[in-house]
Structure 1
Amino acid sequence: MDRLSTEPNIGDALSFVRTCHLVTMLENSLYRAKSAKLQCSKVLVPKELTARVAQEALKLSLDEPCGLRGCIIYVNLESNNKQASLDTIIYDCSVEPTFELKLVLKQDTQGWDYVRDLLIHRSCFPQLFRSIIKLSPKFQISKKRLYFSVIGVGNEDCQ
């Protein structure tokens, strides 16, 4: 048996930890935005949405000098073809940002408006259902570098 195949891959473990940390940061961001920006009682998030966003952010950070640690994420919500800023996430405050990600989450209105209206009319607590926002499983993420690559320059200090 090959000795290397039984040992855990440190790179994979580190990627998993960073992804989990970013998922937590995204969930906390949505929690804060719920009352501060969205003024709703609940935000319904599709299963695995934050994990998929975190994995995509990790992929986009692979060719960056500081990796995910040099990332700023601008979280926005699109509803009725309008975007609202929800939060800004700085992955690691101790590292000078090297790139920005613009994350656009989308409000899911297909089918939800009908279900919500049914709940409002048949519920003892109609106000509760009026203030629920459901997110779509779809999202957009775009990257903007905050530096120019120069061939022959040494490594970026990311400590």
Structure 2
Amino acid sequence: MAHLKVLTPGESNLSDLLGPLPTEEELLEESIEDPTEARARLVLRRRVEEEVRLVTHNNIVLPPTLLDQVADHIFDLSKDEPCGLRGCVIMVVYADPAIGEQHLVQVKADKNMPSTHLLVLRLKADPASWYTKMARIFRSLGGKRHMIVSPKYDLFKKTFYD
């Protein structure tokens, strides 16, 4: 049940009832994120991950927060574009010094929107991780080759207009 306090004249003033007003620093600390932007980031992250896993037959190992960082970076790069994120085409490339660059997948953010810009996401191999070293041992025993992705990536933007 809600607590109700009635303000009577002469007993207390409004500032006593409401409490102290927030300072300017407290207001700046609060970050209000648009729920549609958060949902767009999540959908974009899931689509890229699903497409990459489908193409690689689930033989790719991604760092846990990599795709969240990539989605935020893609969203920031797409803000200034005429169609925003909806006009984006994302090309995912895997760069491994042993096999070279390999085109994995191309994801269009919105199939009904004209494409205004291309973002090339270059995922890099991580030869120094413990998982890579273990994968080499298992591969020598007859296991499958896994693509181990580094937490570092490159993201390039190319516009289709000038």
State the partner residue of 1:17. Answer: 39
- Aligned partner of 1:127: which letter? G
State the partner residue of 1:73. Answer: 90
- Aligned partner of 2:109: which letter? Y
Note the C-alpha offset of 1:114: 2.6
Post-superposition Cα deviations, 1:130-157, rounded to whole Å, max 9, x if no partner, equal 4222111110001011112xxxxxxxxx
Post-superposition Cα deviations, 1:81-135, rounded to whole Å, max 9, x if no partner, equal 72110011000010000111011001111144432234456xxxx333x422211
Question: TM-score, normalization: structure 1?
Answer: 0.74
Q: 1:120 to 1:86 in 2, by over 3 A?
A: closer
Query: Cα RMSD (Å) of the superposition?
Result: 2.3
Higher relative contact order (CA 8 A, sep 6+): 1
Identity of aligned residues (%): 26
Question: TM-score, normalization: structure 2?
Answer: 0.73
**SS of the residue 2:34 aligns to:** helix
Larger Rg: 2
State the partner residue of 2:159. Answer: 145
State the partner residue of 2:134. Answer: 115
Q: 1:119 to 1:93 in 2, by over 3 A?
A: same
Determine the C-alpha separation between the residues in 1 that align with 2:136 and 2:113. 47
- Aligned partner of 1:24: which letter? R
State the partner residue of 1:31. Answer: 53
Determine the C-alpha separation between the residues in 1 that align with 2:109 and 2:136. 39
**SS of the residue 1:142 aligns to:** strand
Note the C-alpha offset of 1:34: 1.0
- Structure 2, unmatched stretches of 5+, are 1-17, 22-26
Q: 1:90 to 1:80 in 2, by over 3 A?
A: same
Matches within 5 A, 1:42-81: 42-80=59-97
